[in-house]
Chains A and B, each alone.
Chain A
Amino acid sequence: MIETNAENIKREVKRKKNKINYSKYGYYFILPFFITYAIFQLYPLLYTIFLSFNKYIKPAGGAAIGPKFVGLGNFVDIFTNNRAFGEFTLGAFENTVFIWIINFIPQILISLLLAAWFTDKRLNIRAQGTYKMLIYLPNIMTAASVSLLFYTLFSFPQGPINILLQKVGLLDKPFDFLNDGMSTRLIVAFINFWMWYGNTTIILVAGILGIDPELFEVAEIDGATSGQIFRKITLPLIQPILLYVLVTSLIGGMQMYDVPKLMTRAGSPATNAIRTVTMYIQELVGTGSKDYGHAAAISVLLFIVTAALSLTLFWLMREKDTEGQKK
């Protein structure tokens, strides 16, 4: 078909007109997301930040006190540590981080080990599909139910764990696991480990499988052992994924609620050792006399920590990306 110049120009202009015409649809399509986000997430976030600078208490049956502006008062309460609130807040952060660490270290080590084994072509572990399916199972189960299960398994005096340990000879008499701070922390950490190491393993396996197999072949030809290959090739190349796992685990860990909540026995001295940040926020705002100001201040701290972690992750990953592109 022979076209004249004029027709060409007309088509160009029409095409440009079409492009400009459609762009407003971009706004339409993303509108539901942003409106909903603005109302239900952004506004509450801003309101929380606002409340953190206020004193706002709603006693159980009475009229509200506040919101009354107190500047950094709530934060000062947290860090001066001499009022009960400060103690509990810093304690909650300490509990949360401590439990996360004793959960995460074994988790990452075992997951790396399993991932190394599952991706080793020489070893060729054929049952790995089944293994993955079974170790991932605890992750899907409702955490509240799992926690109550363990709560019951560790019951005193004659729960299954006590029975087992006595039978095997590790205990002479029943031990009240849930009455002791450290043992309860360990149980909570173990539950988290047990629920999440399958997930971590699968992610790491996927990451390792993304490495160019030629690198492995060349190393094998050069006579490298599995251990050397893992240390010198695999580990450095999956750094972005390790980072991702670390940060998402930490952010998830900061939100720990279901497990410690269900493991708490009323009146147990262990309660102070496993009260996590989210648990404390719920205590302050959920029942009885509601203390919005202080709860908001804790939330802001949590936000700062989470945001800092996210930003660190993004910054570190972006570096890796550009390095990859340079090659």
Chain B
Amino acid sequence: MNERSYSRSLKISRFWINFICVLLCILSIIPFWIMFVNATRDSASIQQSISLLPSKYFFQNAKTLLDRSSFNLPRGLWNSFCIAASSTAFAIYFSCLAAFGLIMYDFKLKKAAFTFILAVLMIPAQVSVVGFIAFLMQINLMDSYVPLIIPSIASPAVVFFMHQYMKVALPIDLVQAARIEGCGEFRIFNSIAIPIMVPAMATQAIFSFVFSWNNLFMPTMIINSQEKFTVPMMVQILKSDRYRTDFGTVYLGITLTILPMLIVYAFLSKYIIQGIALGGVKY
């Protein structure tokens, strides 16, 4: 094939590939777009036609939504934030702690400990939820945020990630030098290891936060009181009979529950995508 026809067939391929990719991008966006638009329309128009342009009923829908006391979105946002932020902080800090222990020290059970963490890495929380709930009932910890936050101290996947990162990033000489200066081990961890781990912690923090925020299953199993509901749980309220005829209101409600993660993504998409790529390549 000569140069010119090769480059032309390349251009044609490139065109069609870009075309298909644009279609896929539209596919990823259009449900959200319709959602935004319908959140600004009234129920009657929603049932008659599709529109790609917003209308004027935003405030009316907002009023209907926030008037019904069972949908206390600000409360839900705060609840979700508290749970997500706390469990993220615990997961990150204690995973670094564990990784540090596994890297810096040689002890008899070291290999066993690491193998254990690898082994339980992929066990989903669902398989132990029945025993977990029964256990919580016995110690009277149902309907509380404690069982949603404290278990994050033991996050095998995060430990694994921190371990891989720390192995490469932490200069052991630095630690030795600090020891010679008389620094305690825990202080070495906090003042030397932690600052070095900041990029890894940031990446993991995003994923951990998003995962915790989006989690529907665990909170559903544990929380009963409506004022403690998390945002995903509140989405289910929107599905109830109350809103059956208020379509615009439902779309607005969905929009508001999606907004937090949309904002997170708007600012952090670059890091998130980098993090995904990082996570997958190890294998």
Residues on A lying within 8 angstroms of B by beta carbon are: 19, 22-30, 32-34, 36-37, 40-41, 43-51, 56, 110, 114, 117, 122-125, 127-128, 130-138, 140-146, 148-153, 155, 158-160, 163-164, 167, 194, 198-199, 202-207, 210, 240-241, 243-245, 247-248, 251, 254-255, 257-258, 261-262, 277-278, 281-282, 285-286, 292, 295-296, 299-300, 302-303, 306-307, 309-310, 313-314, 317
Contact = CB atoms under 8 A, between A and B. Distances in A.
B238 interface: yes
A148 B257 CA distance: 11
Given A143-B216, A257-B217, A258-B217, 12 more contacts: A23-B106, A26-B102, A44-B129, A44-B134, A134-B29, A135-B24, A144-B233, A202-B280, A251-B124, A257-B126, A258-B214, A314-B118
Interface string B207-221: 000100110110011
Interface in B37-52: 38, 46-50
A163 B213 CA distance: 33
Nearest to A277: B126
Contacts of A164: 50
Contact of A203 (B105, B108, B277): B277
B281 interface: yes
Interface in B89-138: 94-95, 97-98, 100-102, 104-110, 113, 117-135
Nearest to A317: B283
A294 to B, nearest CB: 9
B264 interface: yes
A141 B50 contact: no
B281 A30 contact: no
B107 A23 contact: yes
Nearest to A143: B214
B48 to A, nearest CB: 7
A123 B238 CA distance: 46
B122 A306 contact: yes
B98 A127 contact: no
In this complex, the member of B13, B32, B133, B210 whose beta carbon has the largest number of chain A beta carbons within 10 angstroms is: B133
A152 B257 CA distance: 15
Nearest to B38: A160
Contact of A278 (B121, B126, B239): B126
A155 B269 CA distance: 32
6 contacts: A144-B257, A149-B258, A150-B31, A163-B50, A205-B277, A292-B130
A223 to B, nearest CB: 10
Interface of A, secondary structure class, is helix
A251 B89 CA distance: 26
A32 B221 contact: no
Contacts of A117: 17, 21
Contacts, number: 310
A174 B220 CA distance: 34
A28 B261 CA distance: 37
B165 to A, nearest CB: 16
Contacts of B126: 255, 257, 277-278, 281, 299, 302
Contacts of A300: 127
B131 A258 contact: no
A247 B280 CA distance: 13
Nearest to A47: B131
Contacts of A24: 107
B147 to A, nearest CB: 7
Interface stretch (B54-62, B63-71, B151-159, B195-203): B151-159
Contacts of A43: 131, 135
Contacts of B50: 160, 163-164, 167
Contacts of B108: 23
Contact of B130 (A22, A40, A51): A51
A164 B52 CA distance: 12
A145 B39 CA distance: 14
Given A46-B131, A262-B239, A295-B130, A142 B213 contact: yes
A88 to B, nearest CB: 16
A40 B254 contact: no
Q: Give the one of A148, A202, A295, A306 with max B CB within 10 A.
A: A148
Contacts of B279: 203
Contacts of A131: 21, 24-25
A151 B31 CA distance: 11
Contacts of B82: none
B52 to A, nearest CB: 11
Given A137-B28, A158-B48, A207 B280 contact: yes
Nearest to A22: B105
B150 interface: yes
Contacts of B130: 44, 48, 51, 281, 285, 292, 295-296, 299
Contacts of B168: none
A321 to B, nearest CB: 9
Contact of B239 (A26, A29, A148, A306): A148
B131 A145 contact: no
A136 B105 contact: no
Given A22-B105, A30-B101, A140-B264, A153 B17 contact: no
B185 interface: yes
B185 A25 contact: yes
B147 A296 contact: no
B81 interface: no
Interface in B235-283: 235-236, 238-239, 247, 250-251, 254, 257-258, 261-262, 264-265, 269-270, 272-273, 276-281, 283
